Chain A
Amino acid sequence: MATFSPFDIQARPNRLFAQALSCLLFVVCVGLYIQTSAKRHQANTEDRVVPNAQQLMSGIHASVLEPAEEDDYIPAENASKWELFRHSMIWKDTVASGGRFLISLALLVPAVIFALHIGLFPYFGAGFLRFVLFFDKIVALSLLPILFIVFGIDEWSKIALIVIGVAPTMILDVTQMVKAVPQEQIVKAFTLDANDYDVAYRVVFRQVMPQVINSLRLNLKPMMLFLFAGEMIAASDGLAYRIAIMRRHMGMDVILPYVLWIACLLYLIDLGLRLLNRRMHPWFQS
């Protein structure tokens, strides 16, 4: 067997080494953080820009186990951890943001169906494709004043911002997938006495479904970005609302746990979709 240098394409690190290597950058980042924090705390013992472990722990405690400031709830002496958590700011904010996120996610379903029609039905395509192509290029954030007029400053303007920001991209993406389905299959289905409905939903839709889910996975981050933009502009609860408020007095001890929590949530949603895809479409290999 030939020996390869570590930089060769054909080199194969053993399992343990590969695992260690994948952790390396995490360790480096944490190390750099600790070093910066220690250095800043040496210069200023009360530094809030790069909180140390103790500050972070108290920040996490405040966000998870203490009632939110604007909440009127006063915990009973013997309140359980769960009870405290239910009134904490992180719970409140996650519920608020999560609601907006899930509603937007649900509103993307009709967008996907719409895209299926654009890609498959020539009259639909003629009517809508060019418009969606153009609409996709509009920077959704610049439409905010209009969204405020149409949807008010409550929930719907934030949801609309997400949907308007993400849906056109999804539609174009799905349209491409639909068009990539071999024409022969469609012809074949018709010769086997399928009707329009069968071809659209039982032949084409089934096939593109795993790709649609993958496209959605890629769009999770843009969705979160739009949600954040909306919540930072006008809100009285939500994950980004809290970050905006905490920024006013350099509450990095709360902001950093929030950022990690949001990253975890997104990772979990992504993982969920990936597992769902694998379970539902074992035949699919991308």
Chain B
Amino acid sequence: MVTNKSKHFASFFLTALIYCGLFLSARADAEVPTFTVGWSVYAGWNPYFYMYKSGILKKWADKYGIAIKIQRFDYAASLDSFVAKNIDACTMTNMEALDMPAAAGVDSTALIVGDYSNGNDAVLVRNGLTFANLPSHRIMLVEKTVSEYLLERGMVLNGQQAQISKLRLINTSDSDIVPAFLNNTSNTAVVTWKPLVSQILTDKGVHSIFDSSKIPGEILDLLVVQTDVLNRSDGSGIKFAKAITGAWYETMQKLSANGPTQVQALKLSAAASGDSIDSYRNQLKTTYLFSTPKSAADFAMSSILKQKMDLVRQFCFNHGLLGRDVKSVDDVAIAYPDGSVQGKKGRIKLRFNPTFMQAAAQGKL
């Protein structure tokens, strides 16, 4: 009995030792600064999956002596993780960059302006409905997201601004919005994004009355990094920014080149969301990719960006998305590359930083 017990103890001790060893070796690995990037399924972000799978990312990370992990999330969960500072960088739209991390006091920097929705988001209706008679119908959408933004912009651009408060919205989860809308012809209006839009449009009675190609540059898809991480005193944040930007534009190059590399890039990007290549190509058609670093940097430095962001921040403020206690839209300020600030100077929470895109354009990465 006693020997049995001591045997037990010995094996326990041994296991503990092995675990300690593992832990120590893991610590040794951690000497290399490691960064985690969260992404979620969307036409403009799927290339992150390709970037990782093809080894492009590893190549660039090795070049700068760091390690970069790519992790796929549900969109809402990726934002939660970013706000909780569990991940260093995350893909998100300009609107969520403002109303999630920035409004929650997490200083964020937009590193890469990847693309804008150029028709990916759409307002779909049955029975030839128009914006004028939309207020008397129920509208299914994911509330407080770019869908609601698109709907309001549609109302404004069609001269129905006064009617906005009369819209009857039904908050519908994107996971069920297609069957919920299609299965009942008494549902007459829905706002959603691709590929869901394409699925809904297979019903011949439904057509689009407004889409994001009418508001180009307003729904931007960004890669946002924690400003703290970027400004780490050991300089590893800068290395990370350089590596990920370099990797991204190499990915873009592959994606827009012709021939077998492009097919491979498209195939893996489509596989990221379980789409077919055709469906993914269809989504890309309505996504304006800034495929060269120069085009992205130019956009980030233009005055157009400021105008668009102003529309977005007013929307966020009017819907209480900047926080219930925020008394003024200027309390969550945005800083632009030319040094100008939208909002109060002391309260900058979102920064557009084209430095790394410019470096990529000049081939300096």
Contacts and interface: CB of A to CB of B under 8 A. Distances in A.
A145 interface: yes
A246 to B, nearest CB: 9
A152 B170 CA distance: 13
Interface string B155-185: 0000000000100111111011001100110
Interface in A24-82: 44-49, 55, 58-59, 62, 69-70, 72
B144 A249 contact: yes
Nearest to B165: A72
Contacts of B322: 249
A153 interface: yes
Contacts of A47: 104-105
Interface residues of B, number: 36
Contacts of B186: 152
B183 A48 contact: no
Contacts of B187: 153
Nearest to A233: B173
A245 B171 contact: yes
A272 to B, nearest CB: 31
Interface residues of A, number: 34
Contact of B144 (A44, A72, A233, A245): A245
Given A149-B183, A245-B144, A253-B324, A48 B83 contact: yes
A187 interface: no
A46 B179 contact: no
B143 interface: yes
B100 interface: yes
Contacts of A186: none
A153 B172 contact: yes
Contacts of A235: 170-171
B323 interface: yes
Interface of B: 76, 80, 83-84, 99-100, 103-106, 140, 143-145, 165, 168-173, 175-176, 179-180, 183-184, 186-187, 319-325
Interface of A: 44-49, 55, 58-59, 62, 69-70, 72, 144-145, 148-149, 152-153, 232-236, 241, 244-245, 247-251, 253-254
Given A44-B105, A46-B105, A58-B324, 6 more contacts: A47-B104, A145-B180, A152-B184, A234-B140, A236-B168, A236-B171
Closest 4 CB pairs of A and B: A46-B105, A145-B179, A149-B183, A48-B104
